[in-house]
Homo-oligomer: A and B are copies of this chain.
């Protein structure tokens, strides 16, 4: 009732640095984009979730499109930290490669359990040709795929792994492996969700690895 002028909608008594609010916006954007898709997500809701004002999105990221890209960049950055590139390739005999590749797959599954938003966002873009999809493939997916292809091809050449192409391993990992966590609400409603936390993620990684490395 009192204080008619100084009341603001978002609550950030702590004025926060420019970087802090940018990060908060990116985190909120990941959740909203993952839940509602690019078109369905609204910058109002993203700002609200971040405890910021909607115009601050345009100030920090100039446009919704740029915000989306930076959100994806940030998530891929987090993934790179969790599943470092050293483990994806490197020299060594077939057994070394197999062990390293399996370990990386497991780490990727764990990352997907911790950050289901990334696979979610990728899958949302995957079905419709768009500039966003082109950018996503060129910037992030293709380099990653070629890395995987190199390792898997070498690995298969030395007789390890299941009789699957790189494309099959890729699809199994991203669709069956990672989407499991993004689809948790539906699986829970069906009564087939995994245990939450590390244990559940590990079990799902076991299931994937049983197919890729029988």
Q: Which residues of A pack against B, CB within 8 Å?
A: 34-41, 116, 120, 122-129, 133-134, 136-137, 141-142, 145, 166-168, 170-172, 175-176, 179-180, 182-187, 189-190, 192, 207, 211
Report if A37-B126 is in contact (Cβ < 8 Å); known contacts: A171-B176, A179-B179.
no
**In the bound complex, what is the Cα–Cα distance between A120 and B175 (angstroms)?**
13
Report if A190-B127 is in contact (Cβ < 8 Å); known contacts: A36-B40, A40-B40.
no
Asked if A123 and B183 sit within 8 Å, CB to CB, the answer is yes
Output the nearest chain B residue to A172 by Cβ-Cβ distance.
B176
A127 is contacted by which of B126, B142, B167, B186 (Cβ under 8 Å)?
A: B186
Chain B residues contacting A190 (CB-CB under 8 Å) are: 137, 141-142, 145
